[in-house]
Structure 1
Amino acid sequence: MIENGALLPMFYLPPLEYFKVLNDFKSDIWIEQHEHFPKQTYRNRANIYTPDGALSLVVPVVKGSKVHTSVKDVKISYDFRWQRLHWMSLQACYRRSAYFEYYENDFAPFYEKRFDFLFDYNQQLLELIIKLMKMKLNISYTSDYERNYPESVQDYRSSISAKKEQAFEQKPYFQVFEDRHGFLKNLSIVDLLFNQGPQAINYL
């Protein structure tokens, strides 16, 4: 049983709010790996800034990955070429950003190589982003599922939600298409990374 720190789900290219939590807790972070897979969450979707506003990139999962499938066992579906779609979207949206080309070769393999399990895919992407942002974190993983934790544990498993507007405060930084739609809050961390580069960690 976890007694202190922050408990987070494993997300795909997580939103900025997620990284704010990582940065706040640094040495006391737990990631849930035994929850049942909830649909329509950041576990398999990320929001980026396109010329038309926010767009959700969704990693499709194998049918049958219902509510009662453990998140560790959810398999990625390759029924259509979603990797190509995601990579073309990232290129189209961020090619004009200051640092996309700087990081491009780090991210490209994730859109070429096949991964069987969503959790493993997300985990390796998360490790890459943490390394690129030079964050010094101590991350542990849950050994079983607990519905409730003591009050000393900050449980973020359902509070960082793709379905509702977050109250989380955020100061603007430069975004490629902000002249069209203004500043968009809480996009995927890659929006911050591609626009701010090495300064991203200072922004957090």
Structure 2
Amino acid sequence: MTVLIHPTYFPNIAHFVAMVKANHIQFEVEDNFLKQTYRNRTYIYGANGKLALHIPVIHTQKNRQKYKDVKIFNAENWQVTHWKSLLSAYRTSPFFEYYEDELFPLFNCKMDYILDFNLKCFEVICECLQLELNTSKSQTFNKSVENCEDFRYLVNAKKEQQQSFDAYTQVFDNKHGFIPNLSILDLLFNEGPNALNYLESQVIPAQ
């Protein structure tokens, strides 16, 4: 099965469930950049509940700008903020220290384009999961596609459908209960090497 999906900032559980079950992943890179999506945000579990980590981007005056052409607003020290948020949320999780050295460089390097940064984050996460995936990039944008499963709808953070994933232990679940479909980082820090087994056991999210 080939899946068509958007590269996002530390993809959520739904994205990874779709990807681990695929024989081939085609990343949509020819689309227009839209606000209110996972292209430049992810959600983690903080002490006060669900917390958004948002990458600031530079918007042009054009009505439309391709995702691959959107630049990160690096004048804002967002990487330090994101890393501090991860430390606060997960330093007491079972596997944070196990993956810390692999992930920290992502928050200590400057990249110009949001798409390139997201793909780099994806690459590092796959290394952490010891997951080898067959990937390619789209060459043109098509509203409808054939011969593949279209999971591009998962990128929309505002119209997200409720995903029913199995609960796992989270750092603050005694305060706020289980929060599903957070960033892959939440699963990785809490489940460690078992994260891949968890993803493979979940049902592919339906539209």
Aligned partner of residue 156 in structure 2, secondary structure: coil
Displacement after TM superposition at 1:66 (Å): 6.0
Distance change in 2, residues 1:67/1:140 (3 Å): farther
- Find the counterpart in structure 1 of residue 13 from structure 2: 16
Moved more, 139-148 or 111-120: 139-148
- Find the counterpart in structure 1 of residue 157 from structure 2: 162
Aligned partner of residue 52 in structure 2, secondary structure: strand
Deviating 4+ runs (over 4 angstroms): none
CA distance in 1 between partners of 2:161 and 2:21 (Å) = 17
Task: Work out whether residues 59 and 70 of structure 2, in 8 Å CA contact, stay in contact via their aligned partners in 1.
Answer: no
Task: Work out whether residues 79 and 107 of structure 2, in 8 Å CA contact, stay in contact via their aligned partners in 1.
Answer: yes
CA distance in 2 between partners of 1:155 and 1:171 (Å) = 23
Displacement after TM superposition at 1:169 (Å): 2.1
CA distance in 2 between partners of 1:164 and 1:33 (Å) = 21
Displacement after TM superposition at 1:15 (Å): 0.5
Q: Deviations over 1:27-59 (max 9, x none)?
A: 221101110001110000000000100011000
- Find the counterpart in structure 1 of residue 189 from structure 2: 194
Aligned partner of residue 124 in structure 2, secondary structure: helix
Query: So what's the TM-score if we normalise by structure 2?
Result: 0.92
Can you give the 5+ residue segments of structure 2 that lack an aligned partner in the other structure?
200-207
- Find the counterpart in structure 1 of residue 57 from structure 2: 61
Query: So what's the TM-score if we normalise by structure 1?
Result: 0.93
Task: Work out whether residues 160 and 166 of structure 1, in 8 Å CA contact, stay in contact via their aligned partners in 2.
Answer: no
Q: Aligned partner of 1:17: which letter?
A: A
Provide the alpha-carbon RMSD of the alignment: 1.4
Percent of aligned pairs sharing the same letter: 40
Q: Deviations over 1:53-105 (max 9, x none)?
A: 00110000013186511111110002321111000000110000001011111
CA distance in 1 between partners of 2:170 and 2:162 (Å) = 20
Q: Aligned partner of 2:55: which letter?
A: V
